[in-house]
């Protein structure tokens, strides 16, 4: 994303609003939900595309803790990463360093939604949009809330009868502990 892009990194706490407010605090964990437009149902191959798009930027733009791709929406817990400066050897380093920048939620969700939508549209020759513009996000404030959101994601598929055990759901990713 070039310098003229509207998708800017974040350096400090900020609030933005389209229809829904977004609170961003660099270094935070987020619980994020986004849905298909008009509750469009994702096919199994489309869910594969969405899950692979999450894996593609994991470790580059964010650290993915968990995500689940359902028929018409996605839930995830992720932590935006710092944007690294890839300076060449011999490049002068400024005397005053800027505050470290992190990938913004807008940059992250744009990457996820744009890539997956383009692949899904090509796969099924779809002429309409795939994703709603808005996302619902929440900064995870503590360990209790983290466990609560993690359990919500893990139990999403079993709760509606798609599988008996969360680990049997093909479109669920859980970060392995170190």
CA 145, CA 124: separation in Å to the nearest integer?
Answer: 38
Q: How many domains does the chain have?
A: 1
Contact between 18 and 133 (Cβ < 8 Å): yes
Residue 170 placed within a domain:
yes
Quote the domain boundaries for residue 78: 20-84+99-174
Residue 1 placed within a domain:
no
Instruction: State which H helix or E strand residue 136 sits in.
Output: strand 136-139
Provide the token pair at 55.
């894996």
Would you state the pLDDT for residue 95? 46
Give the tens place of pLDDT for each residue, 31-72: 999 999 999 999 999 999 999 999 999 999 999 999 999 999
Residue 144 placed within a domain:
yes
- CA 107 to chain centroid, in Å, comes to 9
Contact between 28 and 90 (Cβ < 8 Å): no
Give the tens place of pLDDT for each residue, 79-113: 999 987 654 544 444 444 456 889 999 999 999 99
Q: Which of 81, 78, 57 is nearest to 138 (CA)?
A: 78
Residue 9 placed within a domain:
no
Give the tens place of pLDDT for each residue, 136-173: 999 999 999 999 999 999 999 999 999 999 999 999 99
CATH assignment of the domain containing 37: 3.30.70.1290
Residue 117: pLDDT over 90: yes
């Amino acid at each position: 994303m070039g310098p003229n892009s509207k998708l800017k990194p974040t350096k400090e706490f900020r609030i933005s609003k389209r229809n829904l407010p977004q609170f961003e605090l660099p270094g935070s964990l987020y619980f994020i939900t986004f849905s298909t437009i008009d509750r469009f149902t994702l096919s199994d191959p489309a869910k594969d595309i969405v899950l692979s798009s999450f894996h593609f930027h994991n470790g580059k733009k964010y650290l993915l803790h968990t995500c689940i791709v359902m028929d018409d929406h996605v839930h995830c817990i992720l932590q935006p990463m710092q944007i690294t400066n890839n300076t060449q050897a011999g490049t002068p380093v400024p005397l005053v360093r800027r505050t470290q920048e992190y990938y913004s939620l807008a940059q992250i969700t744009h990457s996820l939604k744009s890539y997956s939508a383009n692949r899904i549209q090509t796969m099924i020759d779809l002429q309409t949009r795939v994703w709603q513009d808005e996302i619902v996000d929440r900064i995870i404030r503590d360990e209790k809330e983290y466990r609560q959101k993690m359990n919500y994601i893990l139990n999403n598929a079993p709760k509606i009868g798609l599988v008996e055990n969360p680990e049997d759901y093909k479109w669920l990713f859980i970060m392995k502990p170190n």
